[in-house]
Amino acid sequence: MKKILFVIFGLLASNFAHAQFGGLLSAASSAVGGGGGASLEQITGSYIVGSKQIYSAQDKLMKAANIKLDKDVNTAAIASLTPSATSEQVEATNSVITAQATAIQNAYANQNLKLDANGKKLFMSGFADFAVGVLAYGKLALSVKGFRPGVSDVAAAGTALAIAKNVPDDMGNLKSTFTSIYSYAKTNNISPPSDSAEVTKMLGDF
């Protein structure tokens, strides 16, 4: 990871003209090793898919537990995620997802939290969506490990850098949230999603 971030920082800090980026990117690719690494576009695309899936799942889990946050601000941050998203928009999205994760973990750690029938339905749906989102984000984390710059767009490189920088903390946050809701489900006799074992195995690598 340190080598990957060093390479991207080098690209961002370079004063070479646009026409010279081809050589820099070729050198960067060699520095991180050959074969099969993800491109900047693939990293950004995977981040968008994973983050929106996680956000949607969090929304259901919060509604189930009657957690109130600033939905308008949060929704706007997620809506700003597009293939042309900036590093600032990535950071804003991460802040939203992290705040919601903390609220969810605190709520479901409360042993007195009891869900009504509708709440359980929302919880189960949110839990299933969250598991899918974690698996998607896990693939992103793996693709970052094999990252190879593939375009000469400094803005895109900055976005990928912001994503790569946050991946370790993001995976830790997802792991804590998954553990929290899995424990709540087990304690309250709610069946976990069918892919829970796969998620648990994947999270064990982070």
Q: What is residue 147's predicted lDDT score, i.e. its pLDDT?
A: 59
Domain extents in the chain:
2-203
Is 166 a residue whose pLDDT tops 80? yes
pLDDT exceeds 70 at position 141:
yes
**What tokens were used for 182?**
């899995």
Whether 114 has a pLDDT exceeding 90, the answer reads yes
- What value does the mean pLDDT of the chain take? 79
Q: Which two tokens stand for residue 98?
A: 């992290």
Mean pLDDT for the stretch of residues 170-185 = 95
CA angle 18, 24, 28 (to 5 degrees): 140
Q: What is the pLDDT of residue 154?
A: 57
What span, in angstroms and rounded, lies between the C-alpha atoms of 64 and 2?
A: 40
Tokens representing 68? 């109130």
Q: pTM of this prediction? A: 0.76
The maximal CA–CA distance of the chain, rounded, in angstroms, is 62
Give the whole-angstrom CA distance, residue 106 versus residue 110: 7
Give the position of tokens 């899995």. 182
Res 36 pLDDT > 70 = no
The b-or-e profile of 116-151 (16+ CB within 10 A means b, else e) is eeeeeebbbbbbbbbbbbbbbbbebbebbeebbbbe
Which tops the pLDDT comparison, 49 or 148?
A: 49
27 pLDDT more than 80 = no
Q: With bands split at pLDDT 50, 70 and 90, how would you rate the model's confidence at 42?
A: confident
Q: Is the pLDDT of residue 199 over 90?
A: yes
d(CA 165, CA 169): 8
